[in-house]
Amino acid sequence: MKNMTDCLFCKIIAKEIPSSMVYEGSQAVGFKDINPKAKHHILVVPRKHIDSVMAMEEGDQELVGHLIWDAKKIAEDLQLEGYQLRFHVGAKGGQEIFHLHLHLLAD
Ligand code: 5GP
Ligand code: ZN
């Protein structure tokens, strides 16, 4: 994405668009998916705009590791006994929003 001011998730992070935030960390936020595919469906989203796993650059590994850590913390808060963590990668991988995010899903 060339213009991040057009990015929906950047706008949600900046609170220009409302969302149900469940987590606000230094590097990432968590908010409820607007169209949940499970009883619990949280999107864990880095504050830094990266289009996709495909667009990760050297140095982004730690940030993506942090997303998994934050998802674990959110899952603990929700007292989940098990859950799925999913990345959709690229349009052909089912990705619709081109701001990297990790889906946390649990029933
Ligand atoms: P993707 O397929 O790109 O990995 O998933 C994008 C997700 O973002 C979808 O599950 C979709 O329901 C969710 N989504 C799309 N627009 C909005 C929105 O405006 N607010 C929230 N909270 N979630 C959204
Ligand atoms: Zn963005």
Tell which one of 86, 97, 99 to mutate to probe ligand 1, the residue whose CB is within 8 A of the most ligand atoms. 97
pLDDT of residue 5: 74
Q: Is the CB of 90 under 6 A from ligand 1?
A: no
pTM over cut 0.75? yes
Domain that holds residue 69: 4-106
Among all bound ligands, the one having the nearest atom to the CA of 31 is: 1
> For the segment 37-76, what is each residue's pLDDT rounded down to a tens digit?
999 999 999 999 999 999 999 999 999 999 999 999 999 9
Instruction: Give the Cα separation of 56 and 38 in Å (integer).
Output: 28
Q: Is the CB of 52 under 6 A from ligand 1?
A: no
Residue 29 has which token pair? 């936020």
- The alpha carbon torsion through 33, 70, 79, 89 (nearest 10 deg) reads 40
With tokens 């880095």, the residue in question is: 46
Looking at residue 51, which CATH number applies to its domain? 3.30.428.10
Instruction: Give the Cα separation of 47 and 9 in Å (integer).
Output: 9
Residues with catalytic roles: 101
Q: Is the CB of 19 under 6 A from ligand 1?
A: yes
Domain count, the chain: 1
